[in-house]
Amino acid sequence: MLTRLKVVVTGLAVISCVATASAQDLSFSTPGGQTVTLSSLRGEVVVLLFSGMQDPQRRDGLKALASLADRYQGKNVRVFWVSVNAPTEMTDDQLKNVGAGSSVSVLRDGNQAAFKRFSGKVAQLPTVVVLDRQGNPYGQPRGGFNPNSDFVNDLASIVDRLLER
């Protein structure tokens, strides 16, 4: 007999994903047209927050992400806000403005290849993915953003753990 267990998680929701998905072959573009590959970031802990123009929490998420980036400035940690919008939905100039005055780097995943790879069957914006120094996803991606949660410290505890390895 099959039984189903439904668990409701508050704060950061956990999204089903294959934790062993290789991140090495994924690439993004910068607002300036350069390509950034995840394999080029090996040796650093990488935090990716997938979001977009349609995400009503993008400003709060970006502000929290900037706080995280400031905390790890000068360490082997890279923090990115990743737009899932195609260039027809969000121009490069608009994308540049998202990160203006922030310590967070901005990337585009216009075809949503990385977002789909990491978010699994249930795609939710925003989604946060943390990669270890070898470029492998650490734990499950976190979907949703609760401004009342301790988002920055929750992510910082993961980043600290990975830096200690």
**Where exactly are the structural domains of the chain?**
26-164
The span from the CA of 114 to the CA of 120, in Å, is: 10
| Chain Cα centroid distance, residue 111 | 16
pLDDT tens readout for residues 36-90 = 999 999 999 999 999 998 888 888 888 999 999 999 999 999 999 999 999 999 9
- The string over 117-143, giving b where at least 16 C-beta atoms fall within 10 Å of a residue's C-beta and e elsewhere, is bbbbeeebbbbbbbbbbebebbebbbb
Angle between helices 58-71 and 92-99 (to 10 degrees): 50
Quote the percentage of the chain above a pLDDT of 90.
59
Q: Which amino acid is at 150?
A: D
Sheet holding 127-131, edge to edge: 13-14, 142-143, 127-131, 45-51, 77-83, 105-108, 27-29, 35-37
- The CATH fold of domain 26-164: Glutaredoxin (3.40.30)
Q: What is the pLDDT of residue 4?
A: 33
**Best CA proximity match to 165, nearest among 127, 136, 128:** 136
Residue 153 has phi, psi (to 5 degrees) of -70, -35
